[in-house]
Structure 1
Amino acid sequence: MKSLVSPKPGTTDQARDEERTATDPAAARRTPAAAGPLASFARFVLLGGGVGVASSGVVPVLAALMPWAAANALITVASTLLSTELHARFTFGAGHAGWRQHWQSAGSATAAYVVTSTAVLVLHLVQPSAGVLYEQVVYLTAAGLAGIGRFLVLRLFVFAGSRTRTTVRAVNSAPAREAGAKVSVLFPVPAL
């Protein structure tokens, strides 16, 4: 999206972006990693799927020591913390995930936990003697479907503000002109 006010007539978008990243270190960290929806989804699947597959291998081990729902809850908390940080840094290019992003991500992870637990519960109601292989198939299928929902929530709500911003410079501000300073205001732009 183009800036609402151009700092100089004839300045290109690329020159403005370079000027903005030179003066805003956080923007410099975000800009190279910011990706379109398909690249973000590919990173989400790779990172989140990797954490999910590793988690699915640990759940049955813990389930031998405690109830399956408790094991799933413990692994969900640990994997959510790890994957939120990975998604913030690599999937959405937002840098380090703050507490707000972790709490918002926890909400979508809670929904994913309910989906996976319900799917395995239904499996055990339908097939009480289902083995680990069937549990894994049902668990990973439910986790994959919940993961698509998590991707949309993370991209559109949790990390949308840090991924898309535009800079507006106050050109006609008398105090700023007299002091020789540049004034920048960042506005979040909704992702499409």
Structure 2
Amino acid sequence: MNRGAAKVSGMTTTAPRGAAAREGTTMNGLRLIHRHAASFVRFSGLGSAVTLAASAALALLSQWIPWMAANALTTIASTVAATELHARVSFGHGRPGLAGHVKSAATIAVGWLVTSAALGALAALRPGAGLVLQQTVYLSATALVGTGRYLVLRLSVFAEQAPRPRTHDGAWSRTAYDAAA
């Protein structure tokens, strides 16, 4: 029986050309979606946990040192902790190194600008906005920033590297690397 043929009730049927390849592609696509969804859930959970811990640390520190200093310290500490956790746990990347920390801090700085702009726009458009509307705008902007931050970290800062094949003598083969990509 040829590839793609199946025996059904004594009759042989043939699957359309490429059906097995499409099935493999679909399974690979599902695995990819599952892997990224799991990574996003870990990213969200860890980010939330670090934010809550930073909030508690800020409340405690602000009793002994000025609030602005406590805020700066907790922001720096939580950024470093979150970067380490995201690199290792969310993305399975390993230690992020200085460049990873700097790029991650840049995404946080951009996020702060976006949330600040959203609240500034709200204040300009609705000067007497209540707490519920302010929190709705803030949390919506934060969710947007978090999703954008995930994408930047996943696709750029902690991107998966393509394996680079070696030749039989251990040297990197540019031809083999190009062929694998």
User: TM-score under structure 2 normalisation?
Assistant: 0.59
The aligned length equals 138
CA distance in 1, matches of 2:161, 2:46: 22
For residues 94-109 of structure 1, what are the structure 2 equivalents within 5 Å? Answer: 94-109=93-108
- Equivalent residue, structure 1, for 2:121: 122
Whichever residue aligns with residue 168 of structure 1, its letter is: P
The alignment partner of 1:168 has SS state of coil
CA distance in 2, matches of 1:159, 1:99: 13
Point out where structure 2 has 5 or more consecutive residues left out of the alignment: 1-33
Could you tell me whether the CA contact under 8 Å between 1:59 and 1:72 is conserved in 2? yes
C-alpha RMSD of the superposition: 3.5
Classify 1:121/1:54 alpha carbon distance in 2 versus 1 (closer, same or farther; 3 Å).
Answer: farther
- Equivalent residue, structure 2, for 1:166: 163
The alignment partner of 2:164 has SS state of strand
Whichever residue aligns with residue 149 of structure 2, its letter is: R
Q: Deviations over 1:134-159 (max 9, x none)?
A: 54443322111101110111011101
CA distance in 2, matches of 1:66, 1:47: 25
Point out where structure 1 has 5 or more consecutive residues left out of the alignment: 1-34, 177-181, 188-192
For residues 1-192 of structure 1, what are the structure 2 equivalents within 5 Å? Answer: 36-55=35-54, 75-125=74-124, 126-128=126-128, 130-131=130-131, 134-160=133-159, 163-171=160-168, 176=169, 182-183=170-171
Could you tell me whether the CA contact under 8 Å between 1:76 and 1:109 is conserved in 2? no
Which protein shows a greater Rg? 2
CA distance in 2, matches of 1:185, 1:167: 8
Q: Deviations over 1:36-79 (max 9, x none)?
A: 322211111111133235556777996xx657xx9876654433
Could you tell me whether the CA contact under 8 Å between 1:59 and 1:71 is conserved in 2? yes
The alignment partner of 2:165 has SS state of strand
Q: Deviations over 1:8-44 (max 9, x none)?
A: xxxxxxxxxxxxxxxxxxxxxxxxxxx8322211111
Shift of 1:113: 0.6
Could you tell me whether the CA contact under 8 Å between 1:167 and 1:184 is conserved in 2? yes
Which structure exhibits the higher relative contact order, with contacts defined as CA atoms closer than 8 Å and separated by 6 or more residues?
A: 1
Could you tell me whether the CA contact under 8 Å between 1:168 and 1:184 is conserved in 2? yes
Q: Deviations over 1:108-139 (max 9, x none)?
A: 111101011222333444244744x5544433
The alignment partner of 2:95 has SS state of coil
